[in-house]
Amino acid sequence: MVLGWGLPLLLAVTLLGPLLLGRGYALVGDMVFVPDQPWKPRWIGADGSVPRAVPTDAVTWALGTVLPGDVVQKLLLVLTLTLAGAGAAALTAHRSTGARAVATVLAVWNPFVHERLAIGHWALLVGYAMLPWVVVGAQRLRAREAGGWRAVCWPLALAGLTSPTGGVLAAFVLLAMVVPRPRLLGPALGLALVVNLPWLLPGIVNTAATPADPFGVQAFAARADSPWGVLGSVLSLGGIWKESVAVAARDSWLLSGVGVGLSLAAFAGLVLARRRDPAVAVPLLSLVGVGLVLTLLPTVGAGERVAEWLVTTIPGGGLLRDSQKWMATGVAGALLGSGGGGRRRGPRGPGVVAPGRGRCWWPGRRFRCWCSPPRAGVSPAPWLPTPTRRSGTTSAVSWSGPVRPTVARWCCRSGSTVASTGTVGMPCWILRRGSFPAT
């Protein structure tokens, strides 16, 4: 709880400190909260205009009927940054404490978050904060855990209910994670379409809306905000199109170089993670590639013409204009890779079972193990829930709640192999070695 929620909350309060010290509004770019926001058909795209802020404005209007506008603004900003950090901690739950802390800080405190806050794109940051949670939910879904769809639905819906870009980003991440499971691809695509209907329907119906301006592709393309060029700026999660909101320190070769080096180290950690967690690392690597292509496309001659054609021809293509925001698809990979060098809390691969010391509590999680060969003639401990079944050369046992070393000692003798479903990566205090596949 301290690392998963306390640290993100502390970082959020630190970043937003001046805004939280008293009552009042922060009117920054597109972030405008008012004391009394009247209802308008525009909030749901019913006025025939392009649904750029649908249903974000409807959500803020509904919240404004219950709470003052400045309180709504503060709560939304704090919750957004806290959820981003907590999602990073959940994504790296099987890493060491230090690695999880690094990922948490990276999720909350980076140039992407700073620049989007400075330009007032708080709704986009909600979708950004949901991306690690979508990856975590997709992992549970692929592992066929109970509540897998529920774990995917809530971050996907929250991203889609705040901004069109956030909904598309979350859909990209979900589809990339379930592509290796064809049976999940159809339901996942259907779910992604449903949660994005609030802005998709007005976009389809409002065919008379003003078409996207191709000049916006060049005006809102990613740019170099550091001496390392466009590629270095984008890799370090910067490169926003608006010069006035860029971090001044990024003009320094040294400081911006540190940011580029940290990003490269995180992506290198993601590459190394392919051996340990291919089911997660490979989709996230593909998302990094997609984010780079979409971000850099308008910055080259031929790519700019392609982007202009997409923006003016494809329905909803206007989302591609602000190209730097698509680098958010690589953030989840950077978070996982930032802990790539950290010690795993769970076992790494095949080996012998070695019960540790003390007690570890994992409330509300289910765990199942298969032991080969079974320990014949031994009954489970009195507090161990049934059923226990044995067949041939294997035995299986399931339980939930507190996990004690006694379970590991009963489950398998030294020299046996063990596999699990339901919990990916057991605590290092229980099993120091063993085989725990993620699917």
Checking if the pLDDT of 379 tops 60, the result is no
| pLDDT for position 340 | 59
Write the pLDDT tens digit of every residue in 15-29: 998 889 888 898 888
Q: Which two tokens stand for residue 82?
A: 């806290």
435 pLDDT above the threshold of 80? no
CA distances from 251 to 118, 226, 290 (A): 17, 5, 27
What would the mean pLDDT of 142-160 be, rounded to a whole number?
91
329 Cβ neighbours under 8 A, 6+ residues apart: 131, 169, 172, 173, 287, 288, 290, 291, 294
Please, which residues bridge with residue 369 across strands? 397, 420
For range 400-425, the mean pLDDT: 38
Output the CA–CA distances (angstroms, integers) from residue 432 to 63, 97, 342, 362, in the order listed. Answer: 48, 16, 15, 16
Q: pLDDT value at position 210? A: 61
Query: Does residue 343 surpass a pLDDT of 60?
Result: no
Residue-wise pLDDT tens digits, 171-197: 999 999 999 888 999 999 999 999 999
Burial class (CB in 10 A: 0-12, 13-18, 19+), 386: exposed
Confidence of residue 353 (pLDDT cuts 50, 70, 90): very low
**How many C-beta atoms lie closer than 10 Å to residue 437's C-beta?**
12
Residue 115 has a pLDDT of 93
pLDDT at residue 383, rounded to an integer: 34
Structure tokens at 62: 């509904």
Task: Out of 50-64, 104-118, 344-358, pick the least confident.
Answer: 344-358
- Check residue 169 and give its pLDDT: 95
Q: Averaged over 93-117, what is the pLDDT? A: 91
The least confident of 140-149, 297-306, 400-409, 424-433 is 424-433
Greater model confidence, 196 or 393: 196
Indicate whether 361 pLDDT > 60: no
Q: Which pLDDT score is estimated for 209?
A: 58
Percent of all residues in the chain with a pLDDT value above 90, rounded to a whole number: 43
DSSP 3-state of 193: helix
pLDDT band at 47 (very low <50, low <70, confident <90, very high): confident
pLDDT at 407: 43
Higher pLDDT, 119 or 344: 119
Highest mean pLDDT among 113-122, 370-379, 383-392: 113-122
Q: What is the pLDDT, as a whole number, of residue 301?
A: 82
Does the structure show a pLDDT above 80 at 421? no
Of 366, 288, 372, 362, nearest in space to 331 by CA = 288
* Each residue's pLDDT tens digit, 222-273: 999 999 999 999 999 999 999 888 888 888 999 999 999 999 999 999 998 8
For residue 417, pLDDT beyond 60: no
Q: Is the pLDDT of residue 420 over 90?
A: no
Mean pLDDT estimate for the chain: 78
Where is pLDDT greater, at 70 or 318?
70
Going by pLDDT thresholds of 50, 70 and 90, the confidence category of residue 403 is very low
Rounded CA-CA distance 11/103 in Å is 12
- Report which of residues 439 and 320 the model is more confident about: 320
pLDDT tens readout for residues 160-170: 988 899 999 99
Confidence at residue 214, expressed as pLDDT on a 0 to 100 scale: 80
In this prediction, residues 419-425 reach a mean pLDDT of 34
Residue 354 has pLDDT above 80, yes or no: no
The whole-number average pLDDT for the span 97-118 is 92
